[in-house]
C-alpha cells in the first residue's frame, strides 16, 4: 500500500491525494474547529437557495437569511443541550 501511495505521490508531484486526509487528518487547534462551521453552513445555505431560486437575482439575499437562520438554530440547539447537560450533572 505504501508503494502505491508513493507512486501516486510521485505522479502528482509533492501534493498528496485528498483521500489521505481521511487517514491522516490535518491537526487543527481546539478553537479552530468551530470556525469550520461557517463555510459549511454557508455552502449548505447556498446550495439550498440555489436549488429553489427562479432567477439568479433571488439567490444572494435568501442565502444570507438562510445562513443566519441555520447559525442561530444551531446556536439555540447548543445552548439547549448545554443547559440540559448542566441540569443532568447537578440533579441526577
Using one digit for the tens of pLDDT, what is the confidence trace for 32-87? Answer: 888 999 999 999 999 999 999 999 988 999 999 999 999 999 999 999 999 999 99
For the residues 7-21, what does the mean pLDDT come to?
A: 64
Domain extent for 44: 2-91
| pTM higher than the cut 0.85 | no
CB distance 53 to 40 below 8 Å: no
Residue 8, Cβ neighbours under 10 Å: how many?
A: 13
Instruction: For residue 2, give the C-alpha cell.
Output: 505504501
Position 25 scores a pLDDT of: 84
Position 65 scores a pLDDT of: 97
The count of domains in the chain is 1
For the residues 20-26, what does the mean pLDDT come to?
A: 85
Residue 15 has pLDDT above 90, yes or no: no
Cα angle 14-39-27, degrees, rounded to a multiple of 5: 45
Amino acid at each position: 500500500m505504501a508503494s502505491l501511495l508513493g507512486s501516486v505521490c510521485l505522479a502528482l508531484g509533492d501534493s498528496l491525494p485528498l483521500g489521505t486526509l481521511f487517514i491522516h487528518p490535518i491537526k487543527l487547534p481546539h478553537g479552530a474547529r468551530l470556525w469550520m462551521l461557517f463555510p459549511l453552513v454557508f455552502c449548505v445555505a447556498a446550495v439550498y437557495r440555489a436549488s429553489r431560486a427562479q432567477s439568479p437575482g433571488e439567490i444572494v439575499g435568501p442565502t444570507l437569511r438562510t445562513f443566519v437562520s441555520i447559525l442561530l438554530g444551531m446556536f439555540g440547539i447548543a445552548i439547549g443541550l448545554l443547559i440540559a447537560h448542566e441540569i443532568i450533572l447537578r440533579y441526577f
